[in-house]
Amino acid sequence: MRNYDVARLLALATMWSVQYLFMRVAVPALGFGLVAELRALSAAAFLLPTAIVLGQRAQVLAHRGIYFRLSLVNNVLPFICFAFAAASLPAGYLSIINGTVPMWTALFAAGLLHEPLGGRRVIGFALGLAGVALIVQLGPVALDARIVLAAVVGLLGAASWGWGGVMIKQQAGEIPVIALAAGSISFSALLLSPAWVEASTATWTLGAAVSAVALGLVCSGIAYLAFFTLVRDIGPSRTLSVTFLIPVLGVLWGWLLLDEAVTASMIVGGVMVIGALGLVLRR
């Protein structure tokens, strides 16, 4: 893998790892639906001009079917599913569910892109999940119908993200990738626009508004420049393996910014995640 690819993967993991910091400020004040809409709008406001500057015309009307399907699978459905799951499941369990994204991606890629799965990658996925489990240090949760439903819906969101990566790869030859990112996120903003009914009851603070806009600009707008080009260049399975790094980086930000303790199990889990990435990313 080229150094340029590694740099983009690390940048992508970093940008996605800070999204929860922005959400913690914005969602309690504005509500998840409105934050998701502001995220999509902010990302579209960045990506549409960027695509034009790069000479990549989105042609939203001409490719509206592709953009509509990708916006549903890669943005709208995962946002809704993880919001529903977050109402019942602790953050640690959500991290584990999010850690299944690379495996869903590999399964879809094997079936739709004919990418070989291979024993080495399967071992890498299992090692990565185990490492994430050590990092988040799961505690007991009483098993009832609400918890089971939340877990199933969360897994649906993770599977949707995995399918979205494969869809990007499938369409990258027909539509330039930055235009694909811009068009799909614009459709997402349109589909999420009913959330504006929450605007009158939201608590509009400067911190919440800035966090929601930063969430879109950084974690979807700028991040999608790396994400969509990486899917085109190295494939969806290897690109989405960066989700294993998000809990590792979350521990790092907590240690650096919040003076949170780092335990031995977190360190062991981080080493396991790095080893898993080596197995998955190696050709």
The answer, yes or no, to whether residue 91 has pLDDT greater than 70, is no
Mean local confidence (pLDDT), 165-189: 90
Distance, CA of 278 to CA of 269 (rounded, Å): 14
Q: At 70, is the pLDDT very low, low, confident or very high (cuts 50, 70, 90)?
A: very high
Question: Bigger pLDDT: 142 or 225?
Answer: 225
pLDDT of residue 258: 63
Rounded to an integer, the average pLDDT of 124-143 is: 71
Cα separation of 136 and 132, whole Å? Answer: 6
Q: What is the mean pLDDT of residues 161-166?
A: 91
- Average of per-residue pLDDT values in the chain: 83
Give the model confidence (pLDDT) of 247-260 as tens digits. 777 777 777 776 76
User: Are 78 and 165 in contact, with CB atoms under 8 Å apart?
Assistant: no
Per-residue pLDDT, averaged over 225-234, amounts to 92
Does residue 22 contact residue 219 with C-beta atoms inside 8 Å? yes
Cα 93 from Cα 97, distance rounded (Å)? 6
pLDDT-derived band at 85, boundaries 50, 70, 90: confident
Tokens of 86: 């977050």
pLDDT at residue 139 is higher than 70: no
Span between the terminal Cα atoms of the chain, in Å = 8
Note whether 179 and 229 are within 8 A (CB): no
So what's the pLDDT on residue 198? Answer: 84
Q: Measuring CA to CA, which residue among 15, 9, 10 is closest to residue 222?
A: 15
In percent, the amount of the chain with pLDDT more than 90 equals 30
Say whether pLDDT at 138 is over 70.
no
d(CA 138, CA 246): 16
d(CA 78, CA 243): 14
Q: Give me the pLDDT at residue 207, please.
A: 92
**What pLDDT sits at residue 255?**
76
Question: For 23-27, what is the mean pLDDT?
Answer: 81
Per-residue pLDDT at 110 exceeds 90 = no
Q: What pLDDT was estimated at residue 229?
A: 94
Q: Which of 87-91, 97-101, 180-184 shows the lowest mean pLDDT across its residues?
A: 87-91
The whole-number pLDDT of residue 209 equals 93
* 8 Å CB contact between 29 and 204: yes
Residue 152 has pLDDT above 70, yes or no: yes
Using a pLDDT cut of 70, give the percent of the chain over it.
92
d(CA 35, CA 164): 21
- Dist. CA 122–CA 103, nearest whole Å: 8
User: How confident is residue 174, by pLDDT bands cut at 50, 70 and 90?
Assistant: confident
pLDDT, residue 201, reads: 85
pTM over 0.85: no
Inter-CA distances, 12 with 6, 59, 67, 254, Å: 10, 26, 22, 19
- Dist. CA 89–CA 146, nearest whole Å: 9
Considering only residues 95 and 138, tell me which one the structure prediction assigns the higher pLDDT. Answer: 95
Q: If you average pLDDT over each of 9-13, 16-20, 54-58, 146-150, which comes out highest?
A: 9-13
